[in-house]
Every structure is written in structure tokens, then in C-alpha cells.
Chain A
Amino acid sequence: MTLLYSVLILIMLISGIAALVFDKLLNSIIAAGFVSLMASALFYFLKAPDVAMTEAAIGAGLTTAIFVITLRKTEGSESE
């Protein structure tokens, strides 16, 4: 079980750093959403299914979507 936790945390760390490093903002948003997805899997294995559901629905789903929508809107107005 410790191995599973370690792998999940490692993936979270890597995608967190990737979100900082990526040049394109869209890639960063996807990487940040991936951190949330892995965090929700980690919460599930740590026996906190309530928090896992919240993290998956809001952190990985809605927040990513809202960021992508906002990015599209702001980029569109800048290029004009």
C-alpha cells in the first residue's frame, strides 16, 4: 500500500512541477487538473471517499473547465 501512495504522490509532484514549467498555459491547466485527479485517487485509497468525490468533481472537473473557458475568453480578446 505504501508503494501505491508513493507512486501517486510522485505522479502528483511531477505533474505539479510540469504545470509550473510548461510554456503554454493550456498545458499547465491540464497538468494542474491531473494533480487534482491523482489527489482524489489518493484520498480514495486513504479511506476518505467523501473528500475524494469532492476533489474529483470540483478540483479535477469544474475548476479545470472554468480555467479553460477563462483562458479561451482572455486570449480571444488579447489577439484582436
Chain B
Amino acid sequence: MRFRNILALVLVVILGFFILQAFNISPEEGQLVIDEFGEAEIENRTAKLYINKSVNSSNQKVVYAESKNLESGSANMVTSVIANYRSLDTLGEVTVLFLAATGLGAVLYSNKKKERNFIVDEGSLILKTGIKILFPLLILAGAYIFIHGHLTPGGGFQGGAVIATAFLLKFLADREYELAEHKLKIVEVIAGISFVGLGLYGLYTDGSFLSNFLETGTIGTLFSAGIIPLIYVSIGLKVGAELTSIISNLIEA
């Protein structure tokens, strides 16, 4: 036990050393040139570059369903920022949500199964039948939102929240409904590992974490944008499993 503590301390110190090194930007390299007001070339502004998906390469006009092999081939500009240019931030957000779900589970955990006193009355026939029809449709809508995250508005977080809402409705309709918690955990773990694994593979092949190592294809088609759909599927499954476990923890507490 003592050895493990020392080992953990050493690992944390080494990691902290590397993290501190990242802040050490020399002023010659990271010089920032800001043009005066009215003098700046609007073509080179960051927002324009993000819209045309050419932050590193030359700035060209993007035509929907025609342009090929763009830097980030997602038709939805928000997605190309969230899941490609700033996907490390998204990894942080997913981690925060994971910590919140874990903390809630730790606070609300109890050995004995209490009876659920949330639903005072049995759900009415209309509620039960309606949710029986709505449940698969809501799951489908959530999956659609995160699979088409690079084409239409929405993405992993929204799709996961819709899936969690479907499970909430199921809990409301059926008093006896129980979720297999360990299956949720398995989905969550596999999704999280595949997100980080995609990032590490990008680090291995392209030399930067979470870089888009696949071909981006034609903009606007389903199989485009490289690893963005894969990342969004893993985020959607992870967020859906986490929010569902939060709800089931709260209802069963």
C-alpha cells in the first residue's frame, strides 16, 4: 500500500512537470500580431477561416456537396469547431460530466434497495401507451441527432440528452422498470475509451492528439468529415449512458 502511494505521487509529479511545460511558450514563437481597426484583412479573420474550414491551408470558398478533402469536412460549422479544432475541450466537458455522474452515484449509493416513492400513483393508461410508442422513436431521434451531428444542428451532447429523456419517460410510466446499471457502465467505458483511443491514434499517426487522421471526403455526405462522426457517436453514447445513470440513481435513491 505504501509503495503504491509513492508510485502514484511520482506519476503525478511527472505528469505535472509535463503539464507545466505546456504553459512555457517563448515569446518569439507565439508572437501575436493584431492589426489596427479597419486595417485587418477580413479574409484572414478566425471566424471566416472556421467557416471555410481552412485554418492551416489557404482560404478557399466551400461549396456544399462539391468541395472535397477539406481540412475538416463537416457541413455544420459548430461541429467542426467542437469535434475537430477544439475537441480537447470537448474531452474535458465529457470528463466533467463523468465526474458529476460518479459523484452523484457515490453520494446516493445505498446497499439496501428502497422502494421508489417518487411515483405516487400508477401511471395512467394514456401515459403508458403513449410512452410505449414514443420510447423507440425517441431513442431513434437521439441516435439520428448524434450520427448526423456533422451535417445538421446537434451532436453528441444533444443526442445523449434526448436518449436520457426517453429513459426518464420510461421510468415515469413503469414503476417496475429497472435498468441494468453494469450494462450502462460498460457502454460508458467503451465510449470513453474509444474517444481517447481515437485521440491517441491521431497522436501516433499525425503527431497531434485528436487530429483528423481519416480522409474528410465530400462535404455534406454522411460518410465525410473523417473522425468527427466516430467521435460524436462515442460522445453521444457516453453522455446518454451518464445522464441515464444520473436519473436512475436519483429515482432509486
Contact = CB atoms under 8 A, between A and B. Distances in A.
Interface residues of B, number: 21
Contact of A72 (B117, B154, B161, B168): B117
B153 A66 contact: no
Contacts of B168: 61-62, 65
Interface stretch (B6-14, B123-131, B196-204, B244-252): B244-252
Given A57-B161, A58-B161, A65 B155 contact: no
B250 A69 contact: yes
A2 B129 CA distance: 42
Interface string A46-80: 00011011100110011001100110110010000
B5 to A, nearest CB: 37
Interface string B75-93: 0101000000000000000
Contacts of A65: 165, 168, 247
12 contacts: A50-B155, A57-B165, A61-B168, A62-B161, A62-B164, A62-B247, A66-B246, A69-B118, A69-B247, A72-B117, A72-B118, A76-B117
Given A50-B78, A53-B145, A62-B243, 5 more contacts: A50-B153, A50-B154, A53-B158, A62-B168, A66-B247
Interface of A: 49-50, 52-54, 57-58, 61-62, 65-66, 69-70, 72-73, 76
